[in-house]
Amino acid sequence: MHLHFIENGPALLVEQDRRVLVVADLHMGIESGLERHGVHITSRSASRTDRVIACIEETQPDLLLLLGDVKHNVPVTSRQEYRELPGVLDAFRDRVPLAVAPGNHDGGIGRFLDPGELLPPGGALIDGVGYLHGHTRPDPELFGHLIVLGHHHPVVSLVDTVGCAARARPAYLYSGLAASCLPEENPPGSRTRLLFVPAFNEFAGGIDIGRLSESNLGPLSRCIDKKSAEVFLADGTYVGSPATLCPEGGG
């Protein structure tokens, strides 16, 4: 298996039997959600779509996997989403087969999808890799494999020697599974690994890597093995462990 970090996303290419391009947390329609809170921003759905298409053209995948929270507004679907999502998804389908792991913002997403595109809420194995959004407990079949998940919007703030922090940057967190989270019937020799993927949406915000395991955003955030955890920037640059980046657990 080969993992390729696509900086222009951020996005992830998983190369096994097939080439799977993973895009997490698009949050299409976020502008209408911000508008309800008094923040008025022109829709950037077209430019966001162009960024995904650029990732598709760069990586030439066999499958585009949207890792949940394709849409933003809950519990309803906004007018913006009804207006924009069909064209956005068709633009992806015109270039590559599509699959969607439903997220907690994706109520009603099925009406925009073709048969066979919607994965189970507990995730699915594709070529021996587990994929799910991350707000639900994974299906038992995913344990013993690499599990790729979104939902947590991980970011990292790099601090210099005088304590000045750079702007929070999208980051990946890779770790083993804490022993307390191992299933009772763990297959001999199996090893579950977690890879938390950053949000694609530029307005989505994030959780600092150092606080991710205490965030309680999903069941797997509580399963991070801090001893084995490693942090990578959007371009794949290794920057250390959460402990070395945040020695006191902060950001």
- For residues 216 and 165, what is the distance between their CA atoms, to the nearest angstrom? 25
54: exposed, middle or buried (C-beta count within 10 Å: 0-12, 13-18, 19+)? middle
Residues 118, 121, 126, 130, CA torsion sign: positive
**What residue has token string 């991070």?**
224
pLDDT in tens, the chain (251 residues): 899 999 989 999 999 999 999 999 999 998 887 777 788 888 889 999 999 999 999 999 999 999 999 999 988 899 999 999 999 999 999 999 999 999 999 999 999 999 999 999 999 999 999 999 999 999 999 999 999 999 999 999 876 666 556 668 899 999 999 988 877 665 555 689 999 999 999 988 899 988 888 888 899 999 999 899 999 999 999 998 887 775 444 43
DSSP class of 74: S
pLDDT at position 162, please? 62
Q: Who's near 184: CB < 8 A, 6+ residues apart?
A: none
pLDDT at position 158, please? 74
- For residues 216 and 219, what is the distance between their CA atoms, to the nearest angstrom? 7
Check: pTM over 0.85? Answer yes or no: yes
34: exposed, middle or buried (C-beta count within 10 Å: 0-12, 13-18, 19+)? middle
For each of the domains in the chain, give its residue range(s) and CATH number, in order of start.
2-245 (3.60.21)
